[in-house]
Every structure is written in C-alpha cells, then in structure tokens.
Chain A
Amino acid sequence: MNIEERTGDSAVIVSLDGRLDGTTAPDVEKQVSAIVDRGDVRIVLDCDRMSYVSSAGLRVLLLCARKCQQGGGKLAIAGLQPECLSVLEMSGFHKIIECHETSEAALAAVS
C-alpha cells in the first residue's frame, strides 16, 4: 500500500492507495499515530484508491479514529470505493466514522 500525507489548512489528508489488510494495516496505524502524536488530530483518510479492506484494516480505521477522538479531534473517510463502502456499512463502521464521497466534504466534517 502506498501512503501519502499532505497538510491542508484545516486537517491532514492521508491518501491510501492499494489494499488495507493485515499486511499493510500496521503501516497505516504507525503513520496516523505519528500525525496525531505531533498534535494534528483532524485527519481525512482519502480512500479513493483503496481497493480492499479486511477485518485487520477495519480495526486500524477504528484505532485511528479513536486516537483522533481522544486527542480532541476527528477522523473522517473520503471517497470509498463501493466494495470497501459495503464492508464498512455491513459492519456498521459508517455510523461510527463519518464517510463522505469527496475529500472536500470530509474536510468540512473534521474542521
């Protein structure tokens, strides 16, 4: 998985490209934790190019969202592909972590 980070005016946008599974989830967790630890607690995960999410991936999404919340901020997800969105909906994650169609909408939600 390719993970890219860019800092916007109101939040940090982390783009995930590839499969979010047991092999790649620890890297995502590490990167998001580092962002939160330096005080940036408003994060958008841009999942437009994320092709797959497994249970290990879901756990990391939850951990990242929890860490942002505990730091007084918020994490939102943008641009999920239909297959990934259906996994989040089936497991009810979309009711715990806000999912938006676009990065702009997700940015507005965390700001």
Chain B
Amino acid sequence: MLTFHEEIMVLLLHDENGTFLPVSEHTLNRALTGAVLMDLAFANRIDTDPERLVVIDTTPTGDPLLDRILARIAAETGSADSRTWIETLSAEEASSEQAGTIRMAALDRLVERGVLERREEKFLWVFRARRYPTIDGKVEQEAKKRIADVLFSEEIPDPRDVALICLVDSCNILQTIFSKREIDRVEPRIEQIRKMDLIGREMAGAIADIERAIAIAAAHTF
C-alpha cells in the first residue's frame, strides 16, 4: 500500500509526459506535510484533536522520512496543534537545507516500487529536465476509482479514502479527474468529506491562509 505522500505525488503527475500538474510551491509543501502527518496518524504514531497534536508511539515505522518527522515532533517539548505543525514542518520543507525532501523521498520510493521511472533530459542542449513517466498506471487508476466511489455514492467512506480526498481537493486535482459538471454534482459530498479528517481540515486551512496572504501581497504590489 502506498503512503499518502506517495499517492498524492502519483496523482500530481501527468501520466503521458511525466511532468507535474501546476500547483503552487506553498500549496504543495503544506499538502505534502499534511500527507506525512496523515501517514503518521494512520500508522498510530500521532493523534490529534482540535487543540493538540500528540505523539502516542515513538516506535520507528521503518520509513526513513516518516521516522525523521516523527522524531522531530517527539523532540518538541511544547504543545502545538495540527495547523501549527503543518506550518512549521512545511516551512522547514521549503528551507534551503531540506528543500523538497518530502517530494524527493516520495518520488524515489515510487521509482523503487516500479510505479514511475526517472528520466533526465536536456532541452535547448543545455538545460536539464527531470520527468517521471508512469510505468504502472494501475496505482493511479485505483486511487482515482477509490475517490470516485466515495464521491458518487452515499456509502459511509473508509477513513483512508476521506484523507486522500482531502489531499486531492487541497491541490485542486479533482478538476483534472472529473468534469466540471461532475464536480458540481458532487460538491455537497466534497464539502462533507473535506471536513471529516481533522488533519486534512487543518491542512486545507493552512493552504487557504497562505494563498490569501499571497493574493493580498500581490494586490499591494500591483
């Protein structure tokens, strides 16, 4: 089974050419951080409520990235909520020392698992570009099917599917999977699902905050 941060990377790729869908750096960092916290929560290492995020088990998961983040949270002596952790860890993810570590770890694992392949290409004879074409399309198709099954039914959803939909929604990927008419049809269901995962909810709030701040800054610039 893929982790949430791996699944979201798969869904962010154009399968034909292996390039990424356009998602802002700030949004992606927060979404990937939220995905890692969801991975830790589903591995029963952390737990959350509206006021706090707590470590409940420091036993390593065996995934180096998750274990690094788990140790980072466990080392903090003060109390903080999920939103604060998403903002703190995503700022670290954006810092020069750790830039892109979550996404690179996810892509490396997906290449190892045989889901993607890594291709280095030159364009204009000088610039290098890295692409990740999909080798095993079943993983992406299966994730999209799970999302569709939840959105287009009234059945009680599986918590993993709820978390995945929160991630996909926060990166605006639903618009690449479904038509506008389909999304309009299931908008009440999307609205229902996006509230159901407490980490997903805080991640969406953190993304909305940063997008609002950027929009205000841009309005003052021009």
Q: Is B158's CB within 8 Å of the partner chain A? A: yes
Q: Are A56 and B157 in contact (CB under 8 A)?
A: no
B155 touching A69 by the CB < 8 A rule? yes
Q: Does B41 contact A (CB under 8 A)?
A: yes
Chain A residue at minimum C-beta to C-beta distance from B42: A59
Interface residue count for B (Cβ, 8 Å)? 23
CA distance A98 to B160 in the complex (A): 21
Chain B contacts for A93, CB-based, 8 A: 196
| Residues of chain B from 37 to 63 with CB closer than 8 A to chain A in the complex | 41-42, 44, 46-50, 56-57
4-40 of chain A: CB within 8 A of chain B: 21-23, 26
Closest chain A CB from B164 CB (angstroms): 13
Interface check B162, CB cutoff 8 A: yes
Q: How many Å from the CB of A10 to the closest CB on chain B? A: 21
* Contacting residues of chain A (47-63) with chain B, CB-CB under 8 angstroms: 52-56, 58-59, 62-63
- A92 surroundings in chain B (CB, below 8 A): 192, 195-196
Distance, CA A54 to CA B42, complexed state (A):
13
From B42, B157, B198, contact of A58 by CB (8 A): B198
Residues of A within 8 A of B157 (CB): 62, 66
**CB pair B48 A96 closer than 8 Å:** no
A90 interface neighbour in B155, B158, B195, Cβ under 8 Å: B195
Q: Is the CB of B195 within 8 A of A56?
A: no
Cβ-defined contact, B56 with A55, below 8 A: no
**Any chain B CB within 8 A of the CB of A65?**
yes
Name the distance in Å between B161's Cβ and chain A's nearest Cβ: 10
Judged by a CB distance under 8 angstroms, whether B197 is at the interface is yes
Nearest Cβ in chain A — how far from B12, in angstroms?
Answer: 25
- Our pick among A58, A87, A95 for the contact of B192 (Cβ within 8 Å) is A95
Contact residues in B for A96 (Cβ distance below 8 Å): 156, 192, 196
Question: What is the minimal beta-carbon distance from B113 to any residue of chain A, in angstroms?
Answer: 25
Instruction: Name the residue of chain A whose CB is nearest to the CB of B199.
Output: A55
B-to-A contact residues, CB < 8 Å: 41-42, 44, 46-50, 56-57, 155-159, 162, 192, 195-199, 201
24 contacts between A and B (CB under 8 A): A21-B47, A22-B47, A26-B44, A54-B48, A55-B41, A55-B47, A55-B198, A55-B199, A56-B44, A58-B196, A58-B198, A62-B158, A62-B196, A63-B159, A65-B156, A66-B156, A87-B50, A90-B50, A91-B195, A91-B197, A91-B201, A92-B192, A95-B192, A97-B156
Binding site for B on A (CB under 8 A): 21-23, 26, 52-56, 58-59, 62-63, 65-66, 69, 87, 90-93, 95-97
